[in-house]
């Protein structure tokens, strides 16, 4: 009886000890939380859901390698449902309630703009993986997608110098990214001596599907005796009917090439690409790039998704770079503390998937090569031209009034996202818009 009692007591003691020990251990090895803020439903799910999977895959891979700082990484996935205000709410939930150490997220500029005040207020850390219009540099956001000088300007240079284009159609969907990009391009082209009459600008609503008269206008515009090209910032869904109409009206890439900034492998996987062969796109990564790093990434992606036909694209590479930069910076800083990581990450260099390296610049943008690719019949791009080295991202365009004199440098002593060189003052932390 007595012995039984003691046995129970000692068992209890042992149990409580064990419990205590695990409690302690848990405190020491609390997982590092990574927030993923990509729409899984609604209009943008088409593009964003694969980015969620990309980050999940990168986290899984990192955990197999033993996690980070000896701790496991735990993904926290939320669904902002393509609803811009909801992005801000979900970002707040991630930072305030889940207390994540970093967020990977957003696609559209408007969703980023809606998250921006939240991450600045709560001092979070966010990696934004999509090409965008620039004119922004936040202390708390790292832009791993292309700024206009890493996509639009080199693309126009390519057409001007290598193809000999003299007349330009700037066609875009009616929202902030195309409008700003086209404004930059218009100023740039005029600086290069292109006449007003040789530039045609056209905007269409989201999801525009009836392109007949616009394509017919473009055809007419191209009949004026000068080599004409279309620079397209047409967004996602509207592209399919646009290209179909081009093909139906007999416009071939050799007559009027279209260079697109928003058409990637994923968009092409939803169309019959036969009629599009030869049209162009400018990105910083193509799935077809023949490097071992890229082939390994593709193999892993196919294995992760279990889909033999799964494609990779530019924003996925941006997340790959961003995630590696973040883990490197965390290792360097020895902590996931936001301020320490922000300091440590500037200057961090990691390999990209196209055989080069990406460096985080003081303006929170990264260096990228610019690739021009032609659409092929298998829904892939084949590179026809690329910049000799990498191009550092410029947050504030040199071709817009009011942003020409602004620079961004988040290192001491400047520590400012929009410093006006002419006036010699910092315009405050927030961006202009």
| DSSP string computed for 169-190 | EEEEESSHHHHHHHHHHHHHHH
Query: Are 256 and 228 within 8 A, CB to CB?
Result: yes
Contacts of 7 (CB under 8 A, 6+ apart): none
Residues 312-371 touching another protein, rule: CB under 8 A, are none
| Total residues belonging to the chain | 433
Query: Are 242 and 215 within 8 A, CB to CB?
Result: yes
Q: Decide: is 77 part of the binding site for another protein (CB under 8 A).
A: no
Part in contact with another protein (CB under 8 A); list of ranges 18-26, 35-43, 353-361, 403-411: 35-43
Residues 112-171 touching another protein, rule: CB under 8 A, are 162-163
Among 6, 209, 349, 415, binds another protein (CB under 8 A): 209
* 84 exposure class (CB count in 10 Å sphere: 0-12, 13-18, 19+): middle
Shortest distance, position 45 Cβ to another protein, whole Å: 4
Query: Are 417 and 139 within 8 A, CB to CB?
Result: yes
Among 208, 319, 364, 368, binds another protein (CB under 8 A): 208
**d(Cα 3, Cα 289) in Å, to the nearest integer?**
73
Part in contact with another protein (CB under 8 A); list of ranges 27-35, 39-47, 93-101, 176-184: 39-47
Q: Which is nearer to another protein, 22 or 41 (CB)?
A: 41
Among 16, 212, 415, 432, binds another protein (CB under 8 A): 212
Among 77, 122, 384, 426, binds another protein (CB under 8 A): 384
User: Nearest to residue 179, comparing CAs of 202, 153, 156?
Assistant: 202
Burial readout 131-144 (b: 16 or more C-beta within 10 A, e: otherwise): bbbbbbbbbbbbbb
**d(Cα 419, Cα 424) in Å, to the nearest integer?**
7
Shortest distance, position 158 Cβ to another protein, whole Å: 10
Q: Which is nearer to another protein, 191 or 295 (CB)?
A: 295
Q: Decide: is 295 part of the binding site for another protein (CB under 8 A).
A: yes
Q: Which residues bind another protein (CB under 8 A)?
A: 40-41, 43, 45-46, 49, 162-163, 174, 202-205, 207-210, 212-214, 216-217, 219, 222-226, 237, 240-241, 244-245, 247-250, 253-254, 257, 266, 269-272, 275, 277-278, 290, 292, 295, 298-299, 302, 308-309, 374, 376-378, 380, 382-385
């Amino acid at each position: 009886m007595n012995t039984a009692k003691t046995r129970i007591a000692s068992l209890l003691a042992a149990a409580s000890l064990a419990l205590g020990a695990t409690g302690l251990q848990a405190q020491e090895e609390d997982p590092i939380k990574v927030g993923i803020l990509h729409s899984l439903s609604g209009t943008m799910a088409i593009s964003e859901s694969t980015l969620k999977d990309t980050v999940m895959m990168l986290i899984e891979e990192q955990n197999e390698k033993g996690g980070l700082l000896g701790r496991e990484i735990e993904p926290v996935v939320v669904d902002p449902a393509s609803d811009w205000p909801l992005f801000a709410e979900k970002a707040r939930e991630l930072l305030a309630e889940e207390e994540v150490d970093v967020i990977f997220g957003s696609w559209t500029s408007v969703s980023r703009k809606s998250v921006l005040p939240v991450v600045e207020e709560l001092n979070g850390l966010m990696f934004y993986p999509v090409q965008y219009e620039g004119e922004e540099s936040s202390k708390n956001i790292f832009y791993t997608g292309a700024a206009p000088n890493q996509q639009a300007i080199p693309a126009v240079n390519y057409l001007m110098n290598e193809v000999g284009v003299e007349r330009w159609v700037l066609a875009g969907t009616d929202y902030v990214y195309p409008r700003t990009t086209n404004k930059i391009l218009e100023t740039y082209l005029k600086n290069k001596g292109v006449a007003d009459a040789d530039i045609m600008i056209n905007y269409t609503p989201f999801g525009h599907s009836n392109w007949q008269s616009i394509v017919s206008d473009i055809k007419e515009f191209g009949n004026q005796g000068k080599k004409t090209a279309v620079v397209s910032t047409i967004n996602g869904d509207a592209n399919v009917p646009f290209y179909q109409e081009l093909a139906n009206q007999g416009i071939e890439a050799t007559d009027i090439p279209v260079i697109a900034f928003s058409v990637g492998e994923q968009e092409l996987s939803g169309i019959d690409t036969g009629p599009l062969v030869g049209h162009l796109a400018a990105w910083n990564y193509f799935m077809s790039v023949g490097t071992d790093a890229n082939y390994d990434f593709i193999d892993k992606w196919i294995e992760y998704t279990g889909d033999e036909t799964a494609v990779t694209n530019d924003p996925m590479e941006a997340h790959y770079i961003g995630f590696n930069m973040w883990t490197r910076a965390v290792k360097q800083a020895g902590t996931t503390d936001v301020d320490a990581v922000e300091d440590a990450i500037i200057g961090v260099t990691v390999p990209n998937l196209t055989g080069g390296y990406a460096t985080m610049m003081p303006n929170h943008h990264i260096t990228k090569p610019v690739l021009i690719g032609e659409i092929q019949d298998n829904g892939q791009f084949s590179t026809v031209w690329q910049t000799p080295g990498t191009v550092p991202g410029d947050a504030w365009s040199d071709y817009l009034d009011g942003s020409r004199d602004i620079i961004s440098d988040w290192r001491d002593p400047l520590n400012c996202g929009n410093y006006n060189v002419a006036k010699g003052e910092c315009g405050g932390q927030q961006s202009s818009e």
